Homo-oligomer: A and B are copies of this chain.
Amino acid sequence: MKAHSATSEDAITSHGIRLTPQRRYVYEALMEKRDHPTASEVFMRAKARMPSISLATVYNCLDALTESGLIRQVYCERGSSRYCPNLVPHGHFFCKTCGVVFDVPIDPAQEASWEFPEGTQLEHVEITLRGLCPACAQKQTTSLL
């Protein structure tokens, strides 16, 4: 039985960083649910498969994967940052009540022309929507009765 999918190995090596078991487990912890876990959530998932892995290593691996462009780091709020394995350009909805984060498709036309000073080098546009997720919006409406 194979412990790792060939695709995650390929993904890592093809992004120019050395393949290590820890990086594989960390990457797979992100792929396995495709949500937006914090570093310590990733740590718990990876630990389930590799009990010896350390939190420091999870941070190192997340950094390496982010640097190499294989995953994205997302700052939705103060406190912990989150990680996203979805490489297709997209925005994030963040629920200010329960903290859930989910992907939001962005209209390609959205990548409009921005006006800023001559000489600025734009690398990346980040769109964050804030509000209440359906579950929290529901609860709030109900409690107002």
Contacts and interface: CB of A to CB of B under 8 A. Distances in A.
A2 interface: no
B137 A130 contact: no
Nearest to A95: B120
Interface string A102-145: 10110101101011111111111111111111100110000000
Interface residues of A, number: 38
A114 B126 contact: no
A78 interface: yes
A106 B104 CA distance: 19
Nearest to A120: B134
Contacts of A102: 116-117
A96 interface: yes
A126 B123 contact: no
A119 to B, nearest CB: 3
Closest A-B pairs by Cβ, 4 of them: A119-B134, A123-B131, A121-B132, A121-B137
Given A75-B77, A125-B127, 10 more contacts: A93-B116, A93-B120, A93-B122, A96-B123, A119-B134, A120-B133, A120-B137, A121-B132, A126-B127, A126-B129
Interface of A: 75-78, 81, 91, 93, 96, 102, 104-105, 107, 109-110, 112, 114-134, 137-138
